[in-house]
């Protein structure tokens, strides 16, 4: 990977990717949309490899949104089983590389039981790994995550005057996950599409014109370069006491 111009001491702690453009990649080749998802597997492996090379500790990828159920039934069915088979094909090598696999999203009745079982097996298999945490956002919606957190607040009987950001954050799907420093969206769309709404309050957003199946580790490096050129202010003022230290650390 081309690391030219990247300061390895300031790489993002957490990168999140909206893997978008599979359908358009396939359409451009006269192929069915599902072939775009198939080709996206290579891009996902590239992103994982690139993140490992960069020393990124957390990588989160948007694999299926709570809104993606609106797609034709055939495509939804394909995506469910494709994600299951991808796990079967790839989890051993992920495990060998020291990647901890996790899933963020709702386990509702629409996700086939067999898929849930593969997910649980993969989580259990890799639970002890610490080199990198790969979170697959699957049947994930940012609003759904906040709704689920609020439900838990109510279930826990938290009084209104005790509700603060910490009370909500501690009820998100993974309270131990640092907020993404960098969000990369491919395919030239400039939107968030209900990804990590709470967590990306101060993330740097990089939108790339490449379609996801064409994404390679050098694209990740390019996004990190752009990230390193940004000035993160968190509502403050550059140069003010206590501020530059946070930038140095590359996180919140
Ligand atoms: C992203 O590619 C994959 C998923 C949302 C599952 P798309 O399928 O959204 O591809 P486009 O945006 O239609 O090109
Ligand atoms: C976002 O992409 C969801 C995933 C990448 C899984 P979409 O293709 O579903 O988003 P929209 O519909 O263009 O906003
Ligand atoms: Mg899309």
For residue 145, give its domain range.
Answer: 8-250
The answer to whether residue 3 is domain-embedded is no
Task: Report the atom number in ligand 2 closest to the C-alpha of 19.
Answer: 5
Q: What are 44-101's pLDDT values in tens digits?
A: 999 999 999 999 999 999 999 999 999 999 999 999 999 999 999 999 999 999 999 9
67 belongs to a structural domain: yes
List phi, psi (to 5°) of 81: -75, -30
**Is residue 236 in a domain?**
yes
Please report which ligand is nearest the Cα atom of 195.
2
Is residue 232 pLDDT above 50, yes or no? yes
Containing H/E element for 221? helix 217-228
Q: For the whole model, what pTM was predicted?
A: 0.95
Phi, psi of 39 (to 5 degrees): -70, -20
Reported as a pLDDT band with limits 50, 70 and 90, residue 240 is confident
The tally of domains found in the chain comes to 1
Report the CATH number at residue 25. 3.40.1180.10
Residues with a CB atom less than 6 Å from ligand 1 = 19-24, 64, 68, 79, 187, 212
- Binding site membership of 62 for ligand 2 (Cβ less than 6 Å): yes
Using CA atoms in the order 52, 58, 63, 67, what is the torsion angle rounded to 10 degrees?
-160
Q: Which of 191, 159, 181 is nearest to 226 (CA)?
A: 181
Report the C-alpha gap between 231 and 242 in whole angstroms. Answer: 14
Q: Does some domain include residue 2?
A: no
Residue minimizing CA distance to atom 2 of ligand 2: 20
Pairing of strands 58-65, 204-207: unpaired
**Within-domain flag for 1:** no
Q: Flag whether 164 is in a domain.
A: yes
- Within-domain flag for 227: yes
């Amino acid at each position: 990977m081309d690391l030219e111009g990247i300061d390895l001491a300031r790489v993002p702690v957490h990168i999140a990717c909206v893997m978008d453009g599979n359908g358009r990649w396939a359409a451009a080749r006269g192929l069915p949309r599902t072939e775009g998802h198939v080709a996206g597997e290579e891009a996902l492996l590239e992103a994982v490899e690139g993140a490992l090379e960069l020393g990124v500790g957390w990588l989160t990828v948007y694999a299926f949104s709570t809104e993606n159920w609106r797609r034709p039934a055939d495509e939804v069915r394909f995506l469910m089983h494709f994600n299951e088979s991808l796990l079967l094909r790839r989890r051993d090598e992920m495990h060998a590389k020291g990647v901890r696999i996790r899933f963020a999203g709702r386990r509702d009745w629409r996700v086939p039981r067999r898929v849930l079982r593969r997910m649980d097996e993969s989580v259990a298999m890799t639970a002890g790994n610490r080199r990198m945490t790969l979170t697959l956002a699957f049947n994930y919606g940012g609003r759904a995550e906040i709704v689920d957190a609020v439900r838990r607040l109510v279930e826990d009987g938290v009084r209104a005057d005790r509700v603060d950001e910490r009370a909500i954050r501690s009820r998100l799907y993974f309270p131990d996950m640092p907020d993404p420093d960098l969000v990369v969206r491919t395919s030239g769309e400039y939107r968030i599409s209900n990804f990590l709404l709470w967590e990306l309050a101060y993330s740097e957003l990089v939108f790339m014109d490449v379609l996801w199946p064409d994404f390679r580790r050098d694209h990740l490096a390019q996004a990190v370069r752009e990230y390193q050129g940004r000035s993160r202010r968190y509502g403050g003022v550059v140069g003010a006491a206590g501020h530059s230290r946070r930038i140095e650390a590359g996180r919140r």
